[in-house]
Amino acid sequence: MHALDVLGDPVRRRLVELLAQGDRAAGELTDVVRAEFGISQPAVSNHLKVLRDAGFAQSVAAGSRRIYALRGERMTEAQRWVDEQVGLWTTTLDALDTELHRGRRAASEEES
Query: Where do the domains of the chain lie?
Result: 3-71
**Cα–Cα distance for residue pair 50/68, rounded to 1 Å:** 13
| Alpha-helix residue ranges (DSSP H) falling in the chain | 3-7, 10-20, 26-37, 41-53, 72-111
Check residue 52 and give its pLDDT: 96
What CATH code would you report for 3-71? 1.10.10.10
Residues of the chain with pLDDT under 50: none
Q: How far apart are CA 40 and CA 101, in angstroms?
A: 56
Round to whole Å and give the CA distance between 2 and 5.
5
Rounded to whole angstroms, the Cα distance separating 112 from 103 reads 14
pTM score:
0.72
Quick one: pLDDT at residue 3?
Answer: 81
